[in-house]
Amino acid sequence: MEQLASQLADSRLASGAEPDEPLHAPRLAQYKNAGRASVSQQCRRSQLLQRQKRERDGRLDRLRAITADDDEGALDAAALPPTFSYRKQGFYQSQYSNQLMFSEWMETVPADLHTDWLLKMCPPGKRCLVVAKRRCTRSYSAAGALLRTFPSRLPAGWRGPLGQRPTVLDCIWDQAAGTFHVIDLLAWNGHQVFECEAEFRFTWLQTKLSETPEVGVASRSNPYRFVAISHTACGPAELAATAAAATADGALFFHRAAHYWPGVSPLVLWLKPFMLPETLGVPRTAAELGAPPDYAGRQRYIDRWQASRHRKPEGRTRQDQMES
């Protein structure tokens, strides 16, 4: 028995587990975490930061395609179906589907939050990808469905000067105000920046929009306004000041070194404004920041939200779920 116990201990150490680290049943961990991997957010952040440095993933190849000129090898959007469709030959989808970078709930507060993270307070609206290419501007849903076609004063977005190249923005569409609130920048006039760090992308986005003031004014050649969502550091003073003026749908936290990575990223975290006092110690009450009457804490709210997402209401299609 002692020899058998020694062999088991040696095999566990050889697998990379710490001597005092408890073993977990994979199926049980998946059940408890609603399908999440058992590793922590911090581990996933570290892994993704390393992956950014060494890999050129296929998802980034798709980003290169939508931010490139069509004559440089990108697919022509007109030659592809604008929405998901089932056919006998197989399953086809738009090249603009699944290109947005989405956040995770902030399960634990990052140890480097005050030094290595940036904050954007996002207004309510519909998330979309805006592509200005070949003298026309189009917006697409997260599922790749074409939402609207219009002119804009973005580079390559209207019948302006020749020689302009594609511009791609990650936006929130506010229909009541007729405004695209710009979260992030993937490309500007052909210059691809999705592999640059978040802090650079945000600064360059504000610079380019300020150099093109006509995109911020509604006009015949620019019927919808484009306004950059400002970013701040995540120090205690900045958090308190931001929360005091917050009338937003939620708070997005970006790691300064995060590249634009399609899909859900642990380098982008999300909190509702009324979660800021409990999670980050912001000197406001949850009620003052718009908490619902039945709000019973951050984790309870997240659990209920995840449960509602896992239920499939009757009559809803796969595409409906992706666009909500």
d(CA 69, CA 54): 26
Lowest mean pLDDT among 40-54, 67-81, 169-183: 67-81
Model confidence at 116: pLDDT above 70: yes
Q: Name the band, by pLDDT with cuts 50, 70 and 90, for residue 25.
A: very low
Model confidence at 8: pLDDT above 70: no
d(CA 110, CA 255): 10
Residue 32 has φ and ψ, to the nearest 5°, of -65, -30
pLDDT of residue 21: 36
How large is the average pLDDT for residues 36-57?
66
**What rounded mean pLDDT belongs to the chain?**
78
Q: What is the pLDDT of residues 82-104, one digit of tens each?
A: 333 334 344 445 788 889 999 99
- The answer to whether 170 and 181 are in contact (CB under 8 A) is no
Lowest mean pLDDT among 158-162, 189-193, 276-280: 158-162
Q: Name the band, by pLDDT with cuts 50, 70 and 90, for residue 306.
A: confident
Strand partners, 225: 179
pLDDT of residue 247: 72
Q: What is the pLDDT of residues 204-254, one digit of tens each?
A: 999 999 999 999 999 999 999 999 999 999 988 888 888 776 578 999 999
- For tokens 């990223």, name the residue: 265
- The answer to whether 299 and 225 are in contact (CB under 8 A) is no
The pair of structure tokens assigned to 110 is 């990052």
Question: Domains in the chain, start-ordered, CATH in brackets?
Answer: 41-271 (3.30.470.30)
- The answer to whether 269 and 252 are in contact (CB under 8 A) is yes
Q: What percent of the chain has pLDDT over 90?
A: 50
pLDDT of residue 53: 62
d(CA 184, CA 62): 17
b/e for 124-140, b at 16 or more Cβ within 10 A? ebeebbbbbbbebbbbb
Q: What is the pLDDT of residues 242-297, one digit of tens each?
A: 877 657 899 999 999 999 988 999 999 999 999 999 999 988 888 888 899 999 99
